[in-house]
Structure 1
Amino acid sequence: MAVRLVDWCWRHALAVVVASLAVTAALGWYAAAHLSLDTDESKLISSDLPFRKVEKTIDQAFAHATDRLAVVIDGPTAELAEDAVERLARALPAAHKGIVHGAARPAEEMYFRKNGLLFLSPAELEQIVERLVQAQPLLGSIAKDPSLRGLLASVDLVLQGISHGQAAPKDIEPLLAQLDKPAAAIAAGRTPEPVDWQGLMSGGPAKDAPRRFLMVHGPLDYGALEPAADLIGAVHATARDLGLVPEKGYRVRITGSLALADANFATVAEGVEISAPLSFLAVVALLFWGVRSARVVAAIIISLIVGLVGTAAFATAAVGSLNPISVAFAVMFVGIAVDFGIQFVTAYRNERFLKDDPRAALRGAAASMAAPLTLAAIATAVGFLSFMPTDYTGVSQLGLIAGCGMIIALVIDFTLLPALLALLRPLPEKEPVGLRLQGADAALRRHARPIVLAGCAVGLAGAALLPLMPLDFDPLHLQDPKAEAVATFMDLAKEPDNGVYHLATLAPSVEAARALADKLSDLPEVHRAMTVTTFIPEGQDEKLAMIGDVAMVLGPTLNPARVLPAPSPDELVAAIGKLAGQLEAIAPDHPPSRVLAGHLKAIAAKGPRAAAEYQNAAAAGLPALLSGLRRSLEAEAVSLDTLPAEMKREWIATDGHRTRVQILPKFDVQDEEQRRRFIAAVSAVAPEIAGAPISMEEAGRVVIRAFAIAGLGALAAIGLLLWLMVRRVLDSVLVLAPLVLGALATVIGARLAGIPLNFANVIALPLLLGIGVAFNIYFVVNWRNGVTDHLSSPTTRAVLFSALTTGSAFGSLAVSPHLGTASMGMLLFLSLSITVASTFVVLPAIFHLIGKPK
């Protein structure tokens, strides 16, 4: 049937090519118009698994908390970071209507900024109260005039007190030191650092880090490669417009699940832009080297393009939307389908050397390749389809598309490819097609036994190392660590209180959540267990009385009836010069005063520009400082009923009963052993938990299970297929034995190369089985047909160049900046190399030990 089909396509070559191109154009239009991309990573693992159901339940209970960007703003000081986040929160929705739906600070943070004093011990609170009262004159002056002019006026007021003997110069040395740092820098022509007002007020290092968070949400386009790209772009553009740039001491970064997913796909796309041209050039160059005919290369390339379009059309009809893994079907198709084309063309070239008639040569090629090529295509398809029964839906979709693509490639190789060869009429061969490896064949015959024994030893070593195969199912380890979202996430992960690796569960009520949190807090693996009652402080009455007293004293001071307008540049210069003169006049023998006076005089001499720079460094944080103080002195008695609504919304579900419990790990959960300890300890108390550690652990198990099911299933199915088609148990064993050896040797190679098994490269095993089956079948068929010099046969040439082209397609992935793609390319290239070595060396050695077939 194959011979007749090929012959018919030869005789009607023009009609076959025109019809094929017309159908390809129609299928290409169909695929382009209807094939979409779904970049939602949550769909890569089956939603029917228990841990996914728990995730879904929690997400539905707190739906508003999903699909948000986390914007991290680092400022020069806490006050300037506070000012920056407030400005960014106001500007974002106004500047990007339709893109940014909302920008809000975390409810817990805003709650603590108002009620944080209630969570201090009475002793700590008393110290803060005393310092605030002592700073009343300074605070009163800058409250009336929150500028450098008001600040310097307050210092002038203190100096007047010193002149009347009410204080000593040493009493204001901390204040003078803070003012002198930026003054000295500006006087020397350097960039100044802002004044740390919080450190000055607290009498020590600032406890409030100069970092703020903003949660941003907006519409997402999951049909695009980067669904949140517009949202992320809006944040960065607004930050630049507001001057929140590194040159001014700010750093605005974006992370969170959305940003991480976008960074992942952006890096994948960047890798494709690098690897795709490399792969194409390498494949074309190797084809030219292997077949030595531009016409033959053109026939193979056209066949590949037609097959790829047909496979894309099948994907459109079968799944409609590609996931982040199944988009790799194109690379897989080209890498493997090129093997089929090379095998057919090599057989044709060999027949063309032996026969003058090209039509007869083509019929001979069809007769020789019908069985092995069909068997190889079906076996490769089985290798891909073996992932379909697994819960790893991302790869199962890839398996379906690529598996059916193998059948499409087979059909094209027996229809379009012969027609193209008929039209292009490649020149006849002038020399045999095989490789000149007769010496290698002789060496294999002489050393067949030790080669087979060595292969068995390698297989046993690989089997022993199989349980120790390195595993890494942290999705972050697949991404470029330099990407903003990844680097920011890892930065936040260093501090346990940021909770990026927390676990969460739901309790039926607030009381049950409190009791569960108490149990979980007692676990040695738990850093902290939090629920809504965590935000209700103890001993409120005593602390509220202290806060009320200082509020009565400072309230009028912090809220003056009239605030002066901003000073002009000339007024700033005058204020700087005036304070310099006062320092020299009142404290001429006080070194800090004398030094500051000199620096202030230098700034005044430089004029308004230097004065404005000093204003930004010394006084820009004053409004935020005053605002924070006013807010903290407004603390009120807190109970569950009086908690802010936005706070309750983060911890109590929409049904008003179910309450979230958040558990933070004490150890580094990126370490596999510590992660498992943490999960085991928490799940013993609360079985239904979700979170990043659970996802990493359970998704890893899904992948391992998929790996095992696909590998064993592919072996069993391919073995059965071989037996049904060749009806010889020995032939089936001969095809499968090098495969098993190649797989076990790959384990050794992966260990030596330090390549762990991860979400991306797990497809290597079934792919290895499919490719290896194709290679081995060609050799077994040759052996059955009486071939004894296997390495010098045309089949070896075809397999070699097929392996080189496939290896170049896979190897090009290794240069991708996306670590997952790179690891997939490296493992595929490694496994392919070992498989080819097994086919070229071990399999012929086995043939020589067995002898001639019956």
Structure 2
Amino acid sequence: MIKEILGQWDDLFVRIVKFCALRAVYVLIAAFGLSAGILNYVVENAKINSDTSDMLSPTLEFRQDFKTYKNAMPAFGPSLVIVVEAPNPDQAEDAARILAERLRESKEIKGPVKYLAADPFFARNGLLYLKRSELDELADRLAEAQPLLASLSADPSLRGLFEILGLALNEAAKGGSAPKGLNLIFDSIADVAEARATGKADELSWRRLISGDLADSDVAREFIRVGIALDFSELGPAKRSMKVVRKIAEVAALTTDHGIRVRLTGGDAMSTEELASVSEGAAKAGWISLVLVALLLFVGLGSSRLVLATLLTLVTGLIWTAGFAIAAVGHLNLISVAFAVLFIGLGVDFGIHFALRFREEIVAGKPQAEALENATRDLGGALMLCASAAAIGFFSFLPTNYVGLAELGLISGVGMFIALAANFTLLPALLSIMPFKVKLRPSIIAVVMPDVIIKRFGSGLAIGALVLGVASAFLLPQARFDFNPLHLKDPTTESVQTAMDLIADPKVSPETISILVKKESEAEKIAKTLSSLPEVNRVVWLNSFVPAHQDQKAGVIQNIAFTMLSVFDPANRKDPPGKADLKTATGKFRQHLLATANDRNADPVMAVSAERLAGALAPYLSSSLALQRSVTDLQDGLLDRFDGRLKRLKQSLEASPFTEADIPAALRGRYVARDGRFRVEVYPKENVTNNEAMERFVAAVRQHVPMATDTPVVLVESGRIVLEAIAQAALTALVLVCILLILIMRNIWDTLLVLLPLVLAALWTVAASVIFGLPFNYANVIVVPLLLGLGVASGIHLVMRSRLGLSESELLRTSTPRAVVFSALTTIGSFGSLAVSNHRGTASMGELLMVAIGFTLLSTLVILPALMGWLDRRGLRQTK
């Protein structure tokens, strides 16, 4: 029954090929005309969905929770996170304020611009957020710094600064006590003076000086969130907005040349740059792939006309498949966009086998029409079986929750039958209009693996492969799936680098978990419970912004304000000094420094700092015009931002107690949902770019609050779903392919021969991923259907050709092993080109697939012939 059905299929394919060969011109006109129309349709309608969350079924509970959360929190709509970085907080604050003002003035920025640090509410009440002990320390520091600040307030110049510091040195020289931290002030001034003398733009941080953090050398960061309108007509929806922000920053001189670094990040920024990275990498890989495939086809087919016919058929089938993809699915995702590479890798397999079988007949002296008929009759059933097995591998993902791979499965599964149709229609038409004169060349496989080796060492090779497969199985538990999409993105892009920097800092990590509750009491209880967990750094909700003991703190702040009255008195302001006055004041102060440095009774630490500062000031007093540096430039570096910090200090001393109702709307929107629920935000203690750390964080929080959601929860749960989908699809495909092979081949041994190379290649691939540190991820999991498709196809071709009564020696001299070799090599060339991409997901796809296909080739061409010979010698197989 099965043989009769297969015979009918072979007759059908032969009739189709004859029809297309006899009417070749009409077939070509129809095929290329159809391709032109489909190509135009694809260009006009193609879309790419870069949202990785859409790769999973929307019916999953954790996805529904996340969607509900997003809908309830409009404050987290499409936006860019702008990170303004500078060497010190004064520069960062001023730069961020300027940028925020320019963004608000821009007509091209449609959404809200939120710079909470500059909000008048926080500028006025910021000191109330300090602990009482921290506030007392600040009061003491300001009391000590009051003379310095008062002097500078009256004379904000080098003259005022150096006069008060000189008085402090004199007091110390007379036996009095120098102000606490005076040596750190000297060191900070020396840093600026030395840098300015070499042409750099370093500045003194008065904010750090007042707060007592002069030893802090970390880069200062300020954050601005800008609401944007996504433009889906662009390849990158946020591309236009990102360009506008960068242009505004450049015009405002907020660039690295001026000591300011403005970086963009956030989900929308990363998606936009990822699309650009993927597109650039795909274009580069496409050209490399095309060249490699063409060269390999020329070597393998031995005829430029065969190469041309095969490539035209391949490209035409690819266009038809792309048309189906857009018509059936409507878009491509970051996984299904790889359908083209899969089609090339598997679709060219059909063309290579058909072309080489046709070539074999031509070499044997057959006319072209008869050669086409014989090749079709011998290969029709095998190609149909290969296409069906590959399609089963792809379709096995359809019932899973992994929508991203299911869409790829639908497109590529149908693509296998499109490739089959193209090779039975267009390819014969092309071959029939091309005259062929080819010479017989020795089979590549006969050179690589002489049959004498298989005869002599076949059993040893088979046993060795099986032992290696069993050993590889022990590494299966160590295989890892990297569920974090951040690890797949191009690490050279600004948005990814910025995100990685922020995630590494537990104070500002954007990878937080969110919980929505109806009552304040629930939020308070959850915050208290989660704060005690070792995996949690801190928990923030609306009430976190209402500090405790406000009345007591307000009293301390009022006392500070009274102490600082003279500092803020504008009546004391002196006229600015001239350049000569500045040099005089600098020279006089330098003499004080040298005296301190040479004073044996001076504090050793102070003496060292004084000597260093004296040396740093020397270039500004040099009599040589070539060596002299500008004292006004030094003054700019030391005092340019003093008035601004004094203004902020005065504003912060106007604090008064407030309630939850006084919290600004911009902040309230981040912690109160549109329906009135309260958002509790949980920050991780560890760096959650490490997957194990993220899993611990999510597990710890969800153990107490199962309804918790946000990015870490979605990522961890997505990884679990993907693993389940892969296992389900692999098992489904394996069972269905086994049934198909048993029905068609009617021999359990031949079925096992086809499957064994596939199983061995899969085990070796997993072992290689463990040994070489190539974890599976959302991108390279397409190795599963590809390995199944190509592995089964290669096995089917060799086993079915051997059933014609050929020995392993005779089999190795036919066109079939040659076709298997070059089919695998073209696939390796096609996928290997992806490894050059800067996008780590795309690159990992190329790397792992090269390994997998290489193992498939090895197991099919070395182990399979050896096993076939071993079974043939024992009469366990059916042959004609």
TM > 0.5: yes
Matched residue of 1:406: which SS? helix
639-648 or 423-432, which moves further after superposition? 423-432
Question: 1:853 — aligned with what?
Answer: 878
Q: CA deviation at 1:358?
A: 1.1
Summarize the alignment of residues 517-596 of structure 1 with structure 2, pairs less than 5 Å apart: 517-554=527-564, 557-558=567-568, 560=570, 572-580=578-586, 583=589, 589=595, 592=610
Matched residue of 1:497: which SS? coil
Question: 1:298 — aligned with what?
Answer: 308
Distance (whole Å) between structure 2 residues aligned to residue 546 and residue 413 of structure 1: 86
Question: 1:785 — aligned with what?
Answer: 804
Q: CA deviation at 1:391?
A: 1.4
Contact 2:192 2:637 in 1 (8 A): yes
How well do the aligned residues superpose, as a CA RMSD in angstroms? 3.1
Distance (whole Å) between structure 2 residues aligned to residue 363 and residue 162 of structure 1: 104
> Which residue identity is paired with 1:359?
A
Question: 1:662 — aligned with what?
Answer: 681
Distance (whole Å) between structure 2 residues aligned to residue 731 and residue 166 of structure 1: 99
Question: 1:621 — aligned with what?
Answer: 641
Distance (whole Å) between structure 1 residues aligned to residue 91 and residue 517 of structure 2: 40
Cα-to-partner distance string for 1:595-652 (whole Å, 9 max, x where unaligned) = 6875553499789982442233112222431232133212221322222222221111
Question: 1:811 — aligned with what?
Answer: 832
Question: 1:470 — aligned with what?
Answer: 480
Question: 1:734 — aligned with what?
Answer: 753
Aligned match for 2:793, one of 748, 753, 774: 774
Question: 2:425 — aligned with what?
Answer: 415
Summarize the alignment of residues 98-177 of structure 1 with structure 2, pairs less than 5 Å apart: 98-99=108-109, 101-106=111-116, 113-136=123-146, 138-140=148-150, 142-143=152-153, 149=157, 152-153=159-160, 155-156=162-163, 170=178
Summarize the alignment of residues 634-653 of structure 1 with structure 2, pairs less than 5 Å apart: 634-653=654-673
Distance (whole Å) between structure 2 residues aligned to residue 39 and residue 597 of structure 1: 56
Matched residue of 2:740: which SS? helix
Aligned match for 2:100, one of 76, 89, 103: 89
Contact 2:382 2:800 in 1 (8 A): yes
> Which residue identity is paired with 1:379?
A
Distance (whole Å) between structure 2 residues aligned to residue 445 and residue 645 of structure 1: 81
Aligned match for 1:228, one of 235, 238, 242: 238
Aligned match for 2:227, one of 217, 220, 241: 217
Question: 1:493 — aligned with what?
Answer: 503
Q: CA deviation at 1:490?
A: 1.9
Cα-to-partner distance string for 1:72-120 (whole Å, 9 max, x where unaligned) = 212122111111100111112434x234533321469876554332233
Q: Is 2:724 aligned against 1:715?
A: no
Matched residue of 1:72: which SS? strand
> Which residue identity is paired with 1:505?
I
Distance (whole Å) between structure 1 residues aligned to residue 295 and residue 349 of structure 2: 15
Distance (whole Å) between structure 2 residues aligned to residue 77 and residue 437 of structure 1: 68
Matched residue of 2:763: which SS? helix
How many residues of Structure 1 are paired with residues of Structure 2 in the alignment? Answer: 844
> Which residue identity is paired with 1:577?
K
Cα-to-partner distance string for 1:447-470 (whole Å, 9 max, x where unaligned) = 343333333323322333222213
Q: CA deviation at 1:28?
A: 0.8
> Which residue identity is paired with 2:647?
S
Question: 2:723 — aligned with what?
Answer: 704
Matched residue of 2:311: which SS? helix
Contact 1:387 1:395 in 2 (8 A): yes
Distance (whole Å) between structure 2 residues aligned to residue 394 and residue 143 of structure 1: 63
Distance (whole Å) between structure 1 residues aligned to residue 453 and residue 343 of structure 2: 36
> Which residue identity is paired with 1:684?
Q
Matched residue of 2:450: which SS? helix
Contact 1:198 1:206 in 2 (8 A): no
Report % sequence identity: 36
Question: 1:354 — aligned with what?
Answer: 364
111-120 or 39-48, which moves further after superposition? 111-120
> Which residue identity is paired with 2:281?
G
Distance (whole Å) between structure 1 residues aligned to residue 474 and residue 487 of structure 2: 27
Q: CA deviation at 1:781?
A: 1.0
Q: Is 2:271 aligned against 1:261?
A: yes
Q: 1:211 and 1:109, CA in 2 relative to 1: closer, same or farther beyond 3 A?
A: farther
Q: 1:754 and 1:256, CA in 2 relative to 1: closer, same or farther beyond 3 A?
A: same
Q: 1:99 and 1:426, CA in 2 relative to 1: closer, same or farther beyond 3 A?
A: farther
Q: Is 2:837 aligned against 1:828?
A: no
Question: 2:214 — aligned with what?
Answer: 205
Distance (whole Å) between structure 2 residues aligned to residue 173 and residue 107 of structure 1: 31
Matched residue of 2:401: which SS? coil
> Which residue identity is paired with 2:738?
G
Q: 1:587 and 1:669, CA in 2 relative to 1: closer, same or farther beyond 3 A?
A: closer
Q: CA deviation at 1:436?
A: 3.8
Question: 1:15 — aligned with what?
Answer: 26
Q: TM-score, normalised by structure 1?
A: 0.92
Q: 1:200 and 1:437, CA in 2 relative to 1: closer, same or farther beyond 3 A?
A: closer
Cα-to-partner distance string for 1:109-159 (whole Å, 9 max, x where unaligned) = 8765543322333343233223334444544565567xx54x533654776
Contact 2:159 2:586 in 1 (8 A): no
Distance (whole Å) between structure 2 residues aligned to residue 433 and residue 202 of structure 1: 80
497-506 or 796-805, which moves further after superposition? 497-506
Distance (whole Å) between structure 2 residues aligned to residue 46 and residue 160 of structure 1: 73
Q: CA deviation at 1:212?
A: 1.0
Aligned match for 1:504, one of 514, 517, 521: 514
Matched residue of 1:498: which SS? coil
Q: CA deviation at 1:161?
A: 10
Question: 1:194 — aligned with what?
Answer: 203
Q: Is 2:843 aligned against 1:837?
A: no
Q: TM-score, normalised by structure 2?
A: 0.89
Distance (whole Å) between structure 1 residues aligned to residue 721 and residue 679 of structure 2: 27
Distance (whole Å) between structure 1 residues aligned to residue 748 and residue 70 of structure 2: 53
Q: 1:15 and 1:67, CA in 2 relative to 1: closer, same or farther beyond 3 A?
A: same
Distance (whole Å) between structure 2 residues aligned to residue 645 and residue 122 of structure 1: 27
In structure 2, stretches of 5+ residues that fail to align are 1-11, 598-609
Contact 1:444 1:845 in 2 (8 A): yes
Distance (whole Å) between structure 1 residues aligned to residue 573 and residue 170 of structure 2: 28
Matched residue of 1:453: which SS? helix
Q: CA deviation at 1:333?
A: 1.0
Cα-to-partner distance string for 1:324-362 (whole Å, 9 max, x where unaligned) = 211111111112111111111001001111234111111
> Which residue identity is paired with 2:208?
G
Matched residue of 1:425: which SS? coil
Contact 1:441 1:792 in 2 (8 A): no
Aligned match for 2:414, one of 404, 408, 414: 404
Question: 1:746 — aligned with what?
Answer: 765
Q: CA deviation at 1:726?
A: 3.7
110-119 or 191-200, which moves further after superposition? 110-119
554-563 or 294-303, which moves further after superposition? 554-563
Distance (whole Å) between structure 2 residues aligned to residue 338 and residue 586 of structure 1: 84
Contact 1:813 1:821 in 2 (8 A): yes
Distance (whole Å) between structure 1 residues aligned to residue 195 and residue 309 of structure 2: 71
Q: Is 2:254 aligned against 1:244?
A: yes
Q: 1:185 and 1:793, CA in 2 relative to 1: closer, same or farther beyond 3 A?
A: closer
Q: CA deviation at 1:24?
A: 0.8
> Which residue identity is paired with 1:17?
L
Summarize the alignment of residues 316-327 of structure 1 with structure 2, pairs less than 5 Å apart: 316-327=326-337
Q: 1:104 and 1:645, CA in 2 relative to 1: closer, same or farther beyond 3 A?
A: closer
Contact 1:107 1:646 in 2 (8 A): no
Distance (whole Å) between structure 1 residues aligned to residue 418 and residue 862 of structure 2: 31
